[in-house]
Chains A and B, each alone.
Chain A
Amino acid sequence: MTLGLINANPVVHAKKERVARAEDSHADDAVDRLDVFDSVRDIRDPEHPYSLEQLSVLSEESITVDEKLGRIQITFTPTVQYCSMATVIGLCLRVKLMQCFPPHFKVDINVTPGSHADEESVNKQLNDKERVAAALENPNLRQLVDECLYSSELYSL
């Protein structure tokens, strides 16, 4: 267990301005990338009191949705190459998406290519359904994930 923060000096960005969506421009049950982004943008980073959006860990552009096939793809950029919290961030994304979107959606989560030293290893773990399920049964890990998800409520407008 590391004593110091992985990244003591994160770069914090302004949040993207939130666009109010007109009722009729968006079919109620169709899911698009902004819906997905809205559900995850305020997840708090495991180490810093900032959201994933503020730390540029993710953006709307890093999300792809194929409504017809029922697929969501997210890539995220850990703040540093050796970030050991990468798998935790990935787990947070999975849990949030499971909570917000219908279960038939298949979700692929990967780190942005070139953004992490253990890219392959992190991606493989995050996309192994059994490993994810077992990790979420680990009380310490679950607590950390819950903290990242629920403190985001402080940021909602």
Chain B
Amino acid sequence: MDFLEGNLELRERQRLEGHTDRVWSLAWNPATGVCGIPAMLASCSGDKTVRIWQQGPSGSWDCSAVLEDNHTRTVRSCAWSPSGKLLATASFDATTAIWECVGGDFECVATLEGHENEVKSVSWDASGSLLATCGRDKTVWIWEMQPGNEFECVSVLQGHTQDVKMVQWHPFMEVLVSVSYDNSVKIWAEDGDSDDWHCVQTLNEASSGHTSTVWAVSFNSNGDRMATCSDDLTLKIWDTSAKASETSGSSCGSWRHLCTISGYHDRTIFSVNWSRDGVIASGAADDAIRLFFESKDNSVDVPSYKLLLKKEKAHDMDVKLSAMESKGT
């Protein structure tokens, strides 16, 4: 499908109602939506609950479970393990809960404590054995899953000088990216010899980075590019020449700025997501969703991204996206 040709449209299929406060984040269960298994979505909210939505045989979505009476404050972020069997939920109550899906019911099987205050984001690595969390206490924590749903903290990563907004594992390498209110993006990896986690690279203003809070990051499916979005009203595309086979050491510290997408947003860009097909979607505080695609202009060395479409008033309020689906309040 050539995205750059023809009329693209973004149409709302259904509005999922149920939460009684702002919806902050959502996540598609990766083990669903294929091979006849109905698609499953998790949403988390300021109402302190997480809702599970499933697509029924008629194609419409219904709420199949409400995960409540656990978190005592806003649930800010949620993430499914690669197997789709576990759901991690990160909350302003400073904890991260791990839920297991057993025949349609969800049970909280672990609670990760350690952050000093609000946890903002949680991410599983490709193997499903490591979990990363981050928060307002400026730290990033890495946890390892042990048998029996036990989680052990493997490392507390310090380096950001402010609130860490999001963490995201590389799609297949043991490399972690974090983005922050301190305007920087940090890349973390394990030291080949000592198994210590440390910051291998910092992308800040000096490296053509953002000039205000960085809210989100998303990798492309190849894992050789990532997109970041910011309160500075730009999206930035980063590129690495690190080879897939080199999974540790200094080779992961080779991210460089590729291009900046500017002039399209006039309010904070909260969310960015890079689809499998290469479309970059942004969700911003002007209630709009914008889709971008790389234009293959061979006369120019540097790749450029064109706006495919802008969907205004996609929500009644600010938009945050997840994997090509969006939500607001």
Contact = CB atoms under 8 A, between A and B. Distances in A.
Given A124-B213, A129-B318, A104 B92 contact: no
Interface size class of A (residues with CB under 8 A): 10 to 19
B317 A130 contact: no
Q: Interface centre among A104, A130, A131, A134, by most B CB within 10 Å?
A: A130
Interface string B148-179: 00000000000000010100000000000000
Contacts of B22: 133
A127 B318 CA distance: 13
Contact of A128 (B46, B118, B181, B316): B181
B315 to A, nearest CB: 10
B118 A104 contact: no
Contact of A106 (B118, B163, B286): B286
Given A103-B329, A106-B286, A128-B181, A134 B317 contact: no
Contacts of B181: 124, 128, 131
A134 to B, nearest CB: 5
Contacts of B285: 106, 129
Interface string B108-148: 00000000001010000000000000001000000000000
Interface string B44-83: 0010000000000000000000000000011010000000
Contacts of B198: none
A61 interface: no
B100 interface: no
Nearest to B76: A130
Given A133-B92, A134-B136, 6 more contacts: A103-B329, A106-B286, A128-B213, A129-B268, A130-B165, A131-B181
A17 interface: no
B185 to A, nearest CB: 17
Nearest to B117: A134
Interface of A: 103-104, 106, 124, 127-131, 133-134, 137
Interface in B194-224: 212-213
B287 A104 contact: yes
Contacts of B286: 106
A103 B76 CA distance: 20
Contact of A104 (B136, B163, B268, B317): B317
Contacts of A137: 73-74, 92
Nearest to B162: A124
B310 interface: no
Contacts of A130: 76, 120, 165
Nearest to B286: A106
B267 interface: yes
Contacts of A128: 181, 213, 231
A87 to B, nearest CB: 14
A128 B120 CA distance: 13
A108 B268 CA distance: 12
10 contacts: A103-B317, A103-B329, A106-B285, A124-B181, A124-B213, A129-B268, A129-B270, A130-B120, A134-B118, A137-B73
B74 A134 contact: yes
A62 B316 CA distance: 27
Given A129-B285, A133-B46, A134-B136, A106 B74 contact: no
Contacts of B329: 103
A134 B316 contact: no
Interface in B300-329: 316-318, 329
